[in-house]
Structure 1
Amino acid sequence: MEQTLLNIEKVVLPAVEKRGLDLVDLEYIQEGGYLYVRVFIEKEDGDITLEDCGGLSNDIDEKVDALITHKFFLEVSSPGVERPLKKEKDFVRFIGETIKVSLKHKLNDNKNFEGILENFQDETLFLNVKGEVLEIPFKEIKKSNIVFDFSDI
């Protein structure tokens, strides 16, 4: 599945960029007996529209279909309010936000942290966890995402 995901990315990324969008994440997974290709996109300067999602879906549908021999569902959407942080530029963009981070190896006897992203520089993120600033190397991050405060709604 890993190689298929890389092949999908090779055909999806140019189409995403051609539309002036950013590829946030890409999934090729099996859930409940069905295969899914999920493409998560965003615009740095605005909200994703239904037209953005539908247009990109039309652009990539046949190309992705040619890569996968099994029946699958193609989904194109925004990443949502608790979007993943995957690239270094994501961490720079969301300085000041509350995030969750899961690490590959333990730091201070823990692999999971939630705090305010204070800075990102020199491939290191600075995460304020209850007043203590942790320095976490980018290469140690297994998974990370924005934490949305639903109490503000």
Structure 2
Amino acid sequence: MIDLPARLEPVLAGLGYELVMLERAGRGLLRIFIDKPGGVTIDDCVAVSNHLTHLFTVENIDYDRLEVSSPGLDRPLVKPQDYARFAGEQVTLKLRVPMDNRRRLSGQLLGLESDAVKLVVDGREMSVDLRNVDAARLKPMV
């Protein structure tokens, strides 16, 4: 079976996009989240959807429905590079194992050092082992 994320990353990079996340849902739904500097428009999603539809046909990749979307304002931080890219932004981390009796931490992201997420929470610098991060998202400033 094909490693779909590994196949899509260079294709999307060639089009000027980053693969943020890929989900397979019930009934053959394939959901792909893309990003680019400056954000993603509906026209970007349409262009990527059309391109991938042709690619999937040629490469015989099984799916029934394809959704291409931006990751949204509360973009997930999925790859280690995301923590460096979004340093300075407000984030929310959901932890696997609580720290200071808290399973969720919100604060300013400082970056990633030696597999530890650095952030400032309530005025205090904290270090969280990346393996303890169950989910991380940007916190939209509205």
Match of 2:34 among 28, 41, 58: 41
Count of residues paired in the alignment: 140
The one-letter code of the counterpart of 2:66 is: L
User: 1, 5, 8: which one pairs with 2:4?
Assistant: 8
What amino acid does structure 2 have at the position aligned with 1:91? Answer: Y
Identity of aligned residues (%): 27
Q: Structure 1 counterpart of 2:31, which letter?
A: R
What is the aligned counterpart of 1:92 among 84, 107, 110? 84
Q: Which amino acid aligns with 2:102?
A: N
Partner SS state of residue 67, structure 1:
coil
TM-score, with length taken from structure 2: 0.84
- Give the residue type in structure 1 aligned to 2:36: K
* 1:50-129 pair list within 5 angstroms: 50-64=42-56, 66-68=60-62, 72-129=64-121
Distance 1:57 1:149, change over 3 A: same
1:19-77 deviation per Cα after TM superposition (whole angstroms, max 9, x unaligned) = 021111111123xxx44211111113x23233322222122224446332xx6321112
| Structure 1: distance between partners of 2:69 and 2:111 | 28
TM-score, normalised by the number of residues in structure 1? 0.79
Name stretches of at least 5 consecutive residues in structure 1 with no aligned partner.
Answer: none
Query: How far is 1:14 from its partner?
Result: 2.6
Note the aligned Cα RMSD (angstroms). 2.1
In structure 1, C-alpha distance between the alignment counterparts of 2:132 and 2:78, rounded to whole Å? 12
2:20 counterpart of 1:28: no
Q: CA deviation at 1:106?
A: 2.2
